[in-house]
Structure 1
Amino acid sequence: HLVRIALGRLRLGIGDPTVLDALSFARKGDRSLRPVLEGAYNRVSDLGLIANTFWSGGESAVKALEVTVGRPIRSQLAERLPNPEAVIKRLGLVAVQPKYDGIRVQIHKNGAAVRVFSRNLEDFTLMFSELTAAARSLKDETLILDGEAIAYSKEQEEYLPFQLTSSRRRQHGIEQAAQELPLVAFVFDILYRNGRDLTDMPYEERLALVDEVIAGSTVLLPAPIIKTDSVEVLTKTLLDYISQGLEGVVVKRPDSKYQAGARNFNWVKLKRHTSGELNDTVDLVLLGYYYGKGKRAGFGVGALLAGVYDAEKDRFATITKLGTGLSDAEWRQIHERADKLQVDHRPARVDSILVPDVWLEPEVVVEVMADEITPSPRHTAGRVGDEPGFALRFPRVVSFRGADKRSEDATTVKEIAQLYRQSRERDRCQKVSRKPRFLPARPREWSQAIRQSPERPARLTRRGQALHSMGE
C-alpha cells in the first residue's frame, strides 16, 4: 500500500457493490443484507461511514442513516422506452421536462455553507462558483437541490454544447472560465428543505416547492414542465425540444417518490433517433486501447476498446471498438487521461475475449451512437454460455463524458438487451409498412447520409424564454 501511495495509484479494482456484498458476507455469510446496505449507500454515498456503522451498530444502525446536507445523495436515473406511445401506455399521466445536455449537479446549502456535487459525487463547489453564490442567496436555511448545469454564451445568447460546459471542470483558471462560460442550472427537483427529508414526497408536490425556493434567481432556474396523458401532446413536446437542439425529454410519474440510486420506470427518457440508428445513445466505459497508425500514431491511440456495466456481476463486458467521432483534441485528451489509468494486466472487473495493446482501469465514460446492436461471438456483453454476446454496428463517439458519470452509471448489459429487443421490434414493424425505396448500396454511405441530414440540428439554439413559454 505504501508503494501505491508513492505511485499515486490507490485503485484496488474493487467496485462499491462488491464491498457491500463483502460486508453482508462478513456478518451473515451471504448477500441477504445487500439491499439494506445499498439503500444506506444511496442515501449517504459514504462506504467508510456505512462499514463503520454496520460493524459497530449492525443492521438497525445502518437503516437509521439519514439524508444529510453536505453528503451527496446518489442520483435517481431514468429508464428507456422506445417512443411516446410506449410511455403513455406504461405510465399514463406524466410530467414532461426537457432533457438538457449538461452536467448533473446536486446543490447542498447549510446556512452560508454551500457545496455542489456532480452525479459521480465529485465536489464542484469551487469550479462552479456562480451556482454556489446563487444558492447562498436563497432564503431557506438548509436545502438539497437536483438539477442540470449548462454553459450560457452572453454574446451568442444561446446555451452551449456539453463539451463546452464540461470545460468548466478544471483546477486552474476558474475565475476566467466563469466569466467566459457562465453557468445556469435548471433545477428539476428538491430533496431536502429546512431539516426535512422530502424524498418520500410525491414528485408534483416537490416541484411546487422548487418554484417557491428558487423564485427570483437568475442562475438557478425552474425546469419547464407540462403534464399530459396524450401521445400526441408528448410527441409534439418531444419534437419541439429536439428542434431547439435539446436531447429530448424526461417524463416522470407525478406521484412518484425520489428513489436515490435507482433506475426504474418512474423516470423515463425519450431522445432523438433517426431511421437506421438506435433509439438512444449509450454510455460506454473505456477498457483499453490499440496503438495508432499513420496520423493517429501521433495521438498514441488508434482505437478504443469499450464496454458496458454488468450490474449483476459487478463487471465490465466488451461491446465494441471505437475509432470515429472524436476530434484531434479529444484523441489527445483521452490519451492523456488513459496514461494515468494504464495497468499491466487485464483488470479483475473486466470480462474480455479481445486483448488491446494497453489495458485501462474502467473509469472513463464516453457517449456513443450506433446504427444497431447485433449478436457477436467476439464480445462478452450479454454472453451466456455458448450464446454470442452483443456488439454495436458502426459506432461513433458523440461526446466525452468524463466529467459527470461514474463507470458504474454507464449503460448496463440489461439496457443493451432491452435496446436490442426494441430495435428488433421496430424492424419488424418497418418491414410490414415500408415501401420500397432507393438506398445507397453500402450501409456506411447510408449512415453517413443520415448523419448529414438537415433534419438533424448541427448546433444548439437559444432556448431560455422559449422553454419557459412552452412550460406555461
Structure 2
Amino acid sequence: MKIPHQLLELPLRQRRQLLHVSTLTLFCNNTDLKDLFCDERLGCFEYAKEMTVEAQDATLTNDATLTKMKSFLEDALRSSCEGIMVKSLDIDAGYFPSKRTDGWLKVKKDYVEGLNDSLDLVPIGAWHGNGRKAGWFSPFLMACYNPETEEFQSVCRVMSGFSDAFYIEMKEFFSGDRILAKKPPYYRTVEAPEMWFSPEVVWEIRGADFTISPVHQAAVGLVHQSRGISIRFPRFIHSIPDRNPEECSTAADIAEMFNSQTRKMDVTAER
C-alpha cells in the first residue's frame, strides 16, 4: 500500500490506520506500534490512554457511554492530568494546525460543572504579548489580598479566556498613572513582570485545583511556612465591576480552598 505524504486532511480514523500500516510495511512484520518502543515505566515513559466511542453509541441518552466517558475523565484528573481531548474520528476529523474546530475539543476540570474553583483576583502586572498577542498585555499577573498584612499576594499568571476586544480594552485601560515605575512594597511575589499595575479592577478567575508554589506568595505562612499557593490552569471568566480590589479573594479564602480540595497534597514534601 502506498502511503500519501500529506495526511493532515484525512479523518483521524484513517490517519491512525495508515500510521499502523506504514509501521507494518517499514518493519515487514506484524509488530504493533507499542512494540517499537520500550515497556512503560511509571512516571518515566507511559502511553497516552484512549477510548473509542462509535457513532451509534455517542448519544446523550446512552447511559453506558456517558458513565464510561465520565469515568475516563475522572481517571485522568486523578492522575493530575489537565483533562482529556475529545476528537471526531470520521466527520470534520482532519488535523488543522493552529486552528480550533468542533472536531477536536478540550475537556478540562474547570469546564465541568461542580469541578471548579473560582477566585476573585486583581491584576497587578503583566508581560508584553508575543505572536498573535503582540502589542497587547499577556499574560497578566493576578493577586489576592491579605488584610492582615495589607499585601496583594500573587496567585498565578493568566492568559486564557480573553477576547481580542478585551485585550484592546485592557491595553487602553492600563496606561498612564495606572502603570507603576516599580514594584510596590505591598506586592508580594517572586514574579517579575515587565510592568506593574496599580490595583484597579477585580476579575473572576477559574482554575482546576490548587498547588504549592515557590514563586507565588498567596497565603504564604498559612499552609506552608515559606511557599504560597497557586491555581493550576487559570482562565479568565469575566470582570467584576462592583468589587473594589481590597474586596477580592483573601489569603485566608485561598488557604481554606486549598485545604478543602479533593486532590490532597503532601505539604511537608514541599520544603
TM-score (norm 1): 0.31
- Does the 8 A contact of 1:285 with 1:308 survive in 2? yes
CA distance in 1, matches of 2:181, 2:251: 26
Secondary structure in structure 2 of the residue aligned to 1:330? helix
- CA drift of 1:427 comes to 3.9
Match of 1:399 among 232, 235, 238: 238
Match of 1:323 in 2: 159
Secondary structure in structure 1 of the residue aligned to 2:134? helix
Q: Per-residue CA shift, 1:276-335, capped at 9, x if unaligned?
A: 422xx111001100001111113x212100100001011100010010001001111112
1:402-421 equivalences under 5 Å are 403-421=241-259
CA distance in 1, matches of 2:227, 2:234: 19
Match of 2:204 among 346, 367, 374: 367
Q: Per-residue CA shift, 1:346-369, capped at 9, x if unaligned?
A: 123211211100001112211110
- Does the 8 A contact of 1:287 with 1:362 survive in 2? yes
Q: Per-residue CA shift, 1:22-47, capped at 9, x if unaligned?
A: xxxxxxxxxxxxxxxxxxxxxxxxxx
Match of 1:309 among 131, 145, 148: 145
Match of 1:283 in 2: 120
CA distance in 2, matches of 1:382, 1:417: 6
Distance 1:390 1:283, change over 3 A: same
- Does the 8 A contact of 1:283 with 1:411 survive in 2? yes
Matched, 1:388 2:227: yes
CA distance in 1, matches of 2:155, 2:167: 20
Gaps of at least 5 residues in structure 1 are 1-271, 429-472
CA distance in 1, matches of 2:187, 2:238: 23
Match of 2:195 among 358, 361, 381: 358
Match of 1:456 in 2: none
Letter aligned with residue 355 of structure 1: A
- CA drift of 1:394 comes to 0.2
RMSD: 1.8
Secondary structure in structure 2 of the residue aligned to 1:381? coil
Gaps of at least 5 residues in structure 2 are 1-110, 265-271
Secondary structure in structure 2 of the residue aligned to 1:282? strand
CA distance in 1, matches of 2:236, 2:244: 18
Match of 2:182 among 333, 345, 362: 345
- CA drift of 1:274 comes to 2.9
CA distance in 2, matches of 1:383, 1:334: 29
Letter aligned with residue 307 of structure 1: A
Match of 1:57 in 2: none
CA distance in 1, matches of 2:216, 2:199: 16
State how many pairs are aligned. 151
Q: Per-residue CA shift, 1:154-192, capped at 9, x if unaligned?
A: xxxxxxxxxxxxxxxxxxxxxxxxxxxxxxxxxxxxxxx
Letter aligned with residue 421 of structure 1: N
TM-score (norm 2): 0.53
Letter aligned with residue 369 of structure 1: R
Structure whose residues are more often helix by fraction: 1
- Does the 8 A contact of 1:310 with 1:413 survive in 2? yes
CA distance in 1, matches of 2:155, 2:249: 11
Match of 2:35 in 1: none
Letter aligned with residue 328 of structure 1: D
- CA drift of 1:273 comes to 6.8
CA distance in 2, matches of 1:285, 1:273: 24
1:3-152 equivalences under 5 Å are none
- CA drift of 1:336 comes to 1.3
CA distance in 2, matches of 1:404, 1:324: 23
- CA drift of 1:387 comes to 2.7
Distance 1:415 1:273, change over 3 A: farther
CA distance in 1, matches of 2:113, 2:195: 35
- Does the 8 A contact of 1:344 with 1:359 survive in 2? yes
- Does the 8 A contact of 1:347 with 1:360 survive in 2? no
Distance 1:275 1:427, change over 3 A: farther
Secondary structure in structure 2 of the residue aligned to 1:334? helix
Letter aligned with residue 233 of structure 2: F
Match of 2:113 among 241, 264, 274: 274
Q: Percent identity, aligned pairs only?
A: 26
CA distance in 2, matches of 1:334, 1:347: 21
